[in-house]
Structure 1
Amino acid sequence: MIKIGKTLRLVGLFTSLVYQISFAQVFTPAQTRADLSYLKRKLDLLHPGMGYYTPQPRMEHLYDSLYNRLTSPVNYLTFFHHVSPLVAALKDGHTNLNHRRNYIGKNTLFFPFYIRLVESQYFISHNVSADTSLQRGTELLTINGRLVADLHRELMNTDHSGSDGDNLTGRRQWSLVQFADYYAAWFGSADSIKLTYRLAGDSLIRQTRIKCLTLHDFRTTIQSRYGVELDQRPNLSVRVVDTLTHTAVLRISSFMGLKKKDPFQWAFNRRLKRAFKQIRHENIQNLVVDMQGNGGGIVVNSARLLRYWMPKSFRIMEHEEMKRGARAELVTRWNPFSALNFSLQYRADNRGGFASRSANRRYRPRHRDAFAGNLYFLLNGASFSATTSVLAKTLDAGMGTFVGEASGSAYWGDFAGHFKTVTLPNSRLQVRIPLKKLTHDVDSERSNGFTIEPDFTIMRSFDDLMTNRDYVLDYTLRLIREGVVVRPGLEKQPSRNRPLQASR
């Protein structure tokens, strides 16, 4: 046992040493310039949204500025920071700059709190640190000498994941809900952090130093301390919440498949059928579709959901297109059928690229178990990608009452579909690049903003924080009891002219 203990300690020391060496690795100007130019070539070749949200001349100017400033040796994390503005300037929520493999791992130490924003103040909602005096409602003021608000703003601006165009809700949501992950990715792993804070109901500013935790310890502690509070609802679950108003909540946390090996998504479809059969048997007249935090998934699953309330045959997409260079990423030598498959799915377009042959696919509404009552949608900034497709099509059909905050992606569509992860040759940084431009089959005059905007914008109060209340659902249930219905159907809804582009 003693030998095993010594061996484990040696392994731990070795892993820590490898991490520190990796963190301190220095790259020459020639290496960093080669990496940056490699990334720019790949973006120009593959990304269908170059110049869409940020004009191409501005992108070129930014690239030249970043390239010309690489005149001195830099370490790994500094170069990560240097590359970030080029990726962020695309303003595409599906394009992500990620660390090289194993940079974030089981030995990475994380900020040991969940924090939430109430108006302009940041409070601890869940504490997994050893200091249990920092209870829910403790206001965090600074972290390592910096205002929490400034840190949050920096993390929001460095990563556009989950947020398209100039929309802020997605960036705000993800960078706050995953603050510990964002902090470690941007500032690196740290043994401890220094905090200043105010306890709930106390004006005295205090300070302390708190140890950071591994992901395993973080998860173990959050489960033991707050297990009863964690959202354990399975995807596509139905819960009757008010028998008087015949109201149920359908929780849709993801449009990803329920099983790893299910190419036709039969498992998702079966559970969806069960959900709407239950809704019919329970005589539900007001259905709350909770898609808060749903980052999207497989488009066919979003179409299957829409079939249960869309009034007539519909398409999800009007266009699906990609650049010419994307073909080489989908047609590979090791797969002799990939060229045939590509030809069956895509055709050459008049812009030198390729268009999908299946974009015109139509979906017929379901008649059995179809829902004909009032629809209420719970959404926030993390309602992204295929989730926004559902919201956009529903809004376009003149249906639904939307409660919460604006979705993360755009009414017009997004850049997604297929992806290519490129690895920069020297630093090994990874950038995920979408290959397709997906344009929703929607009428621009029926939009209510660049994203899907809520009819009722709901913000967290301090009392909501302290009681861990689902405040968006509570507000929606009040609307239902009061008989508030914003969109009963397209024929009763006047059209409105709104721009599809975000402001530049």
Structure 2
Amino acid sequence: MNITTRLVAFLFLCFIADLTPAFAQTDTLTPEQARADIAFLKRKLDLLHPGMGYYTPRPRMEQLYDSLYNRLTAPTPYLAFYHTVSPLVAAVKDGHTNMSHRRNFIGKQTRYIPFFIRAVGDQYYISHNVSPDTSLHRGFELLTINGRPVGELHRELMEADRSGSDGDNLTGRRQWSLVQFADYYAAWYGSADSIAITYHAKGDSATRQAKIGCISLQRFRGMMQRRYPNEIDRRPNLSVRIVDSLTRTAVLRVSSFMNTGKRGPFQWAFNRRLKRAFRQLRDQDVQNLVIDMQGNGGGVVTNSANLLRYWMPKPFTMMEREEMTPAARTELVTRWNPISALHFSWQYKRNQSGGFASRSVRWRYRPRRHLAFRGNLYFLMNGASFSATTTVLAKTLDAGMGTYIGEASGSAYWGDFAGHFKTVTLPNSRIQVRIPLKKLIHAVTPDRANGFTVEPDFTVTRSYEDLLTNRDYVLDYTLRLIREGVVARQPIRTRPLQASR
């Protein structure tokens, strides 16, 4: 490259830098940049989110915003600004609204706490150790991390990130923040080369201390594979396993409502697997079906409807209403795609509030006839049973069917905010916030709810023995119910559907 070419390239880069100063990923924001970012986020939330004011009253949201905005009077380090913005996002109390770091803040260089931590009551224990220190065993009680009680850290992370939990429901926040404790910790406090811990060894009341090196995600996964190869859940989505031939009981694992692969449009791959699973249940004459939806964060609503078709007794709709704000149209109709405007008009119409409502919300799904399951249904669920998973649970409960075991689901019985999403990037910090564009209201009868979420008929919690043996304690409890013939709701006996004329 000659001197002239170098000079032209240098001037061009300077020109671009002058035009786009906001895109520089600096570690400190000026008061003007920080205030511009939080104002930008508040404006986007007010315009796009269909649930502003639903869980937290608008006056309270305005008061919170003012207090956060007014405190930004000095240069603010990036991570401190992330902490400042978080309460505004958390106050929406919507599990589909979440915040993530700017690009490359979390990456290959990030170092994570090298443990999986599980709670038994109010105490926290190491369940899986992937650190270089092999003297730390399962069942050791973890007391503090860097001088702070683990319970205190857990509560702070639960409040900081409400992903996967709606309203004031605690089960989703507790589940996600503990299962992904290392991820939450790194996102909130940043990467660390090491941590100082105090702990109790099993059967020993003496408080011990250790300094533990933190590890990369790649090393974390590799150590899990080497140390705990038999404890990694490798069950495919929609897989069937006979667990008790005497009571003719099977477990159907439903880990996601996303498509099972890239082959085939319109969720065909998911439906093929679903059909194969229920054919297997019929061929093996299964009478008690345990549907394991623990940790299922949701997915495509159509897939959840197709699962319901295998046991719902009569034609059903999934949603009572689907609504969007007026500004949501600009996110779904784009200039570069002239068909998008026509498609939007075909799918949505103006509602009384000036926003938009779905035209096809009352679509009716017909139950399956040949492979329909008419035995006892048992649902395993926890706080991470969210979104489309809660839709399945709510619709089944509304139909008066099923026995629910575990803990309350993460989403509300009435519905949630989901459907379409817009990820906005704050112009200076480059923090990203995902905003749902639809309010989805389940087609259920409010009086049939058993709580704000779908609540369990039988609440099951982990014991210390469960922790030590890595036992599937929710399934074990369910199998005991089946052997004793316990059901919360009897299957609905219906006549076979007649072909429509």
Structure 1 length as normaliser, TM-score? 0.92
| Partner of residue 70, structure 2 | 68
| Partner of residue 230, structure 1 | 232
Q: Could you tell me how far 1:79 is from its partner in structure 2?
A: 0.1
Q: Which amino acid aligns with 2:98?
A: N
% identity of equivalent residues: 73
| Partner of residue 323, structure 2 | 321
Equivalent of residue 365 in structure 1, options 367, 376, 400: 367
Equivalent of residue 106 in structure 1, options 97, 105, 108: 108
| Partner of residue 26, structure 1 | 28
| Partner of residue 133, structure 1 | 135
Distance 2:25 2:185 in 1: 15
Helix, strand or coil at the partner of 1:110: coil
Distance 2:329 2:195 in 1: 47
Distance 2:250 2:327 in 1: 47
| Partner of residue 184, structure 2 | 182
**Is contact 1:170-1:408 (8 Å) kept?**
yes
Q: Which amino acid aligns with 2:83?
A: H
**Is contact 2:376-2:491 (8 Å) kept?**
no
Q: Which amino acid aligns with 1:27?
A: L
Helix, strand or coil at the partner of 1:97: strand
Equivalent of residue 470 in structure 2, options 447, 468, 480: 468
**Is contact 1:384-1:407 (8 Å) kept?**
yes
Helix, strand or coil at the partner of 2:428: coil
Distance 1:340 1:251 in 2: 40
Distance 1:194 1:491 in 2: 60
Q: Which amino acid aligns with 1:38?
A: F
Distance 2:490 2:308 in 1: 16
| Displacement over 4 Å in runs of 4+ | 489-492
1:50-199 correspondence to structure 2 within 5 Å: 50-199=52-201
| Partner of residue 210, structure 2 | 208
Distance 1:217 1:91 in 2: 34
Distance 2:233 2:214 in 1: 24
**Which structure 2 segments of 5+ residues have no match?**
1-23, 495-501
Distance 2:492 2:189 in 1: 49
- TM-aligned CA distance change 1:224 to 1:270, over 3 Å: same
| Partner of residue 9, structure 2 | none
Higher mean alpha-carbon deviation, 276-285 vs 22-31, is at 22-31
Distance 1:418 1:274 in 2: 30
**Is contact 2:169-2:410 (8 Å) kept?**
yes
Q: Could you tell me how far 1:260 is from its partner in structure 2?
A: 3.3
Distance 2:354 2:263 in 1: 35
Q: Could you tell me how far 1:103 is from its partner in structure 2?
A: 1.0
Distance 1:489 1:243 in 2: 20
**Is contact 1:397-1:489 (8 Å) kept?**
no
**Is contact 1:384-1:408 (8 Å) kept?**
yes
| Partner of residue 220, structure 1 | 222
Q: Which amino acid aligns with 2:154?
A: H
Say whether residues 1:389 and 2:394 are aligned partners: no
Q: Could you tell me how far 1:489 is from its partner in structure 2?
A: 4.6
Helix, strand or coil at the partner of 2:174: helix
Q: Which amino acid aligns with 2:194?
A: S
Q: Could you tell me how far 1:394 is from its partner in structure 2?
A: 0.2
Q: Which amino acid aligns with 1:457?
A: T
Q: Which amino acid aligns with 1:471?
A: Y
- TM-aligned CA distance change 1:465 to 1:477, over 3 Å: same
Q: Could you tell me how far 1:78 is from its partner in structure 2?
A: 0.2
- TM-aligned CA distance change 1:178 to 1:429, over 3 Å: same
Distance 1:137 1:119 in 2: 14
Q: Could you tell me how far 1:263 is from its partner in structure 2?
A: 3.6
Say whether residues 1:448 and 2:450 are aligned partners: yes
Q: Which amino acid aligns with 1:308?
A: Y
Kindly provide the CA deviation profile for residues 266-295 of structure 1, in whole angstroms up to 9, marking residues without a partner as x. 000000000000000000000000000000
| Partner of residue 239, structure 1 | 241
Distance 1:436 1:23 in 2: 32
Q: Which amino acid aligns with 1:179?
A: F
**Is contact 2:25-2:430 (8 Å) kept?**
no
Distance 2:448 2:265 in 1: 34
1:387-466 correspondence to structure 2 within 5 Å: 387-466=389-468
**Is contact 2:238-2:255 (8 Å) kept?**
yes
**Is contact 2:313-2:492 (8 Å) kept?**
no
| Partner of residue 500, structure 1 | none
Q: Which amino acid aligns with 1:34?
A: A
**Is contact 1:23-1:76 (8 Å) kept?**
no
Equivalent of residue 38 in structure 1, options 40, 43, 61: 40
Helix, strand or coil at the partner of 2:366: coil
Helix, strand or coil at the partner of 1:213: coil
Aligned residues: 471
| Partner of residue 498, structure 1 | none
**Which structure 1 segments of 5+ residues have no match?**
1-21, 493-504
| Partner of residue 249, structure 1 | 251
Distance 2:259 2:335 in 1: 28
Q: Which amino acid aligns with 2:62?
A: E
Distance 2:408 2:138 in 1: 27
Q: Could you tell me how far 1:24 is from its partner in structure 2?
A: 7.1
Give the alignment's Cα RMSD to 1 decimal.
Answer: 1.2
Kindly provide the CA deviation profile for residues 302-334 of structure 1, in whole angstroms up to 9, marking residues without a partner as x. 000000000000001000010010000000011
Kindly provide the CA deviation profile for residues 403-456 of structure 1, in whole angstroms up to 9, marking residues without a partner as x. 000000000000000000000000000000000000000000100000000000
- TM-aligned CA distance change 1:156 to 1:23, over 3 Å: farther
